[in-house]
Amino acid sequence: MRIDVLTIFPSMFEPVLGESIIKRAVNSGKAAIHLHDIRDYTTDKHRKVDDRPYGGGSGMVMAPQPIFSCCDEVVRKIKVAKSKRSIILLSPRGRCLTQKSAARLSKMKHLVLICGHYEGVDERVGRSLADEEISIGDYVLTGGELPAMVVIDAVVRLLPGVLGNASSAQNESFQEPSLEYPQYTRPAVFQGKKVPAVLLSGDHKAIDAWRRKEALKVTRKRRPDLLGR
């Protein structure tokens, strides 16, 4: 998979892309991630990428020209069928990222992530350029860089061969409409608190039943809305 990130703060991504699972995916050739500074595509001699909003109001709005120019160049260079590419605007107005949508995006060959900033992005970017808008939650961040990092992490770890254990991604929270069951490791007793005996029994059928029961219990307590799905 190739991921192109359009941003005015490319240096924000370097610490994240150079660590952990994402670094492993890049080094193994499972993912290729490229950063593009939107300022490099502006026609303004001062490299300005924003302007005052029509109709008045506070803040500044990212102009369409640099974003369109940057995205057009990326798409022109990367020869991928439109059905295998998704151009995404990170926006608080977008549909909330879920495990299901991350799995759908992981099947694409090419993702283009557009990071908004300032008061917002010119509406023509969302309507005419992006295929979809994605949010990572019902709150507002300073820009789209952090949401883009979250999308990259959520998607890349689902690529075949990225995780050391293929079953790891299948047993996580949100793969099913429930949260993950409780996990324990050594020691069996810590500060007087014991690991549930069933997990030490070696009875895999009983362990599976316990995990399903506990997963539902945790979900019912913390995220009952998931059970309604």
* pLDDT tens column, 42-97: 999 999 999 999 999 889 999 999 999 999 999 999 999 999 999 999 999 999 99
Alpha carbon distance 113, 148 (integer Å): 7
Point out the domain boundary residue: 125, 156, 187: 156
Say yes or no: 220 and 114 in one domain: no
130 with 88: CB under 8 angstroms? Answer: yes
In a domain, 27, yes or no: yes
Identify the band that residue 33 occupies on the pLDDT scale cut at 50, 70 and 90. very high
The mean pLDDT value of the chain amounts to: 94
Residue 163 lies in a domain: no
**Is the same domain home to 39 and 140?**
yes
Pick the last residue of a domain from 128, 156, 184. 156
Chain position carrying tokens 């019912």: 220
- Of residues 173 and 227, more confidently modeled: 227
User: What is the domain extent for residue 203?
Assistant: 173-227
Number of Cβ within a 10 Å radius of residue 29:
8
pLDDT surpasses 70 at 128? yes
Domain boundary among 156, 183, 208: 156
User: For residue 220, what is the domain's CATH number?
Assistant: 1.10.1270.20
Are 96 and 8 members of one domain?
Answer: yes
Structural tokens at position 162: 């990225």
How many domains are there within the chain? 2
Query: What are 154-199's pLDDT values in tens digits?
Result: 999 999 999 976 655 555 656 677 899 999 999 999 999 999 999 9
Are 38 and 7 a contacting pair, CB within 8 Å?
Answer: yes
Residue positions counted in the chain: 229
| 79 and 10 co-located in one domain | yes
Cis amide linkage into residue 187, ω under 30° from 0: yes
Task: Please indicate, yes or no, if residue 52 is contained in any of the structural domains.
Answer: yes
pLDDT given at position 229: 67
Statement: residue 145 has pLDDT above 60 = yes
Are 92 and 38 members of one domain? Answer: yes
Q: Could you tell me if 61 and 134 lie in one domain?
A: yes
Q: Which of 207, 209, 229, 208 is nearest to 219 (CA)?
A: 229
Domain shared by 26 and 82, yes or no? yes
Q: What is the pLDDT of residue 174?
A: 65
- Exposed / middle / buried, residue 18 (Cβ in 10 Å: 0-12, 13-18, 19+): exposed
Instruction: Give the per-residue pLDDT at 168.
Output: 59
Tokens 């150079």 label which residue? 18
State whether 107 and 7 are in the same domain.
Answer: yes
Same domain, 131 and 50: yes
Which tokens sit at 178? 């429930």
pLDDT of residue 170: 59
Say how many C-beta atoms besides its own lie within 10 A of residue 10's C-beta.
Answer: 18
Q: How far is CA 33 from CA 13, 20, 54, 79, 153, in A?
A: 10, 14, 35, 16, 11
Whole-number Å distance between alpha carbons of 89 and 79: 21
Q: Domain check: are 129 and 190 in the same one?
A: no
Residue 150 has pLDDT above 80, yes or no: yes
How many angstroms separate the Cα of 35 from the Cα of each of 40, 52, 90, 115? Answer: 12, 26, 15, 11
Task: Report pLDDT digits (tens) over 2-15.
Answer: 999 999 999 999 99
Give the CATH number for residue 88: 3.40.1280.10
In DSSP notation, 12-23 reads GGHHHHTSHHHH
C-alpha distances (whole Å) from 186 to each of 90, 191, 208 are 41, 12, 19
Q: Is residue 166 part of a domain?
A: no
Contact 119, 56 (CB under 8 A): no
Q: What percent of the chain has pLDDT over 90?
A: 89
Same domain, 188 and 95: no
